């Protein structure tokens, strides 16, 4: 077979393949996918929180703090299930039916050892408790965080360097 004939045969083969593939049928464009619902905008950290309840406590040797007034403000009775997270050196306590912890019979709030250690909270060291009933949230602030924040504020107000470590 000559080279010209082989080339001619290849071209005819290519034409046959094109004839085997059907022409696509016109189809309407699919409808657009629905947009997902966006979560409600959460208030900015700079917005004032009107409904805050504060208390100061000292964890006992087992890591429990007495927080009866705050638990009443939140509506968390004895046995109420809680979930505790550590975020930015703070303990965030929320009510959750599947929570691993619960409010004690005498209105004690448990602070798990691992969470206390991650936040630098020692037994009998003062902590600031802030209840935010509108969010069903209780925040535990370690004293070292409060000291640092107040030192920074005082340095800003009074002018001069902060001496908190």
All domains in the chain, ordered by first residue: 53-156 (3.40.1550.20)
> Are 95 and 77 within 8 A, CB to CB?
no
Please state the φ and ψ torsions of residue 126, each to the nearest 5 degrees.
-65, 140
What is the pTM (predicted TM-score) of this model? 0.64
Each residue of 25-66: pLDDT tens digit? 788 877 877 766 666 655 555 555 568 899 999 999 899 999
Q: What is residue 25's predicted lDDT score, i.e. its pLDDT?
A: 78
Cα–Cα nearest to 103, from 84, 85, 78, 83: 78
Name residue 53's beta-bridge partners: 131
Helices (H), the chain: 3-20, 68-74, 113-119, 143-158
d(CA 1, CA 148) in angstroms, rounded, equals 92
Each residue of 72-109: pLDDT tens digit? 999 999 999 999 999 988 999 999 999 999 999 888 99
Q: What percent of the chain has pLDDT over 70?
A: 73
């Amino acid at each position: 077979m000559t080279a010209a004939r082989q080339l001619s045969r290849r071209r005819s083969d290519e034409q046959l393949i094109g004839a085997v593939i059907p022409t696509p049928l016109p189809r309407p464009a699919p409808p657009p996918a629905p947009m997902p619902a966006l979560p409600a905008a959460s208030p900015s950290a700079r917005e004032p929180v009107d409904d805050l309840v504060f208390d100061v406590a000292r964890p006992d040797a087992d890591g429990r703090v007495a927080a009866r007034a705050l638990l009443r403000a939140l509506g968390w009775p004895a046995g109420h299930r809680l979930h505790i997270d550590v975020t930015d050196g703070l303990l965030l306590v929320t009510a959750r039916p599947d929570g691993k912890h619960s409010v004690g019979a005498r209105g004690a709030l448990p602070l798990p050892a691992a969470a206390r250690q991650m936040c630098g909270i020692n037994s009998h060291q003062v902590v600031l408790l802030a209840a935010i009933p509108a969010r069903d949230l209780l925040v535990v602030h370690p004293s070292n965080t409060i000291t640092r924040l107040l030192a920074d504020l005082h340095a800003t107000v009074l002018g001069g360097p902060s001496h908190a470590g």
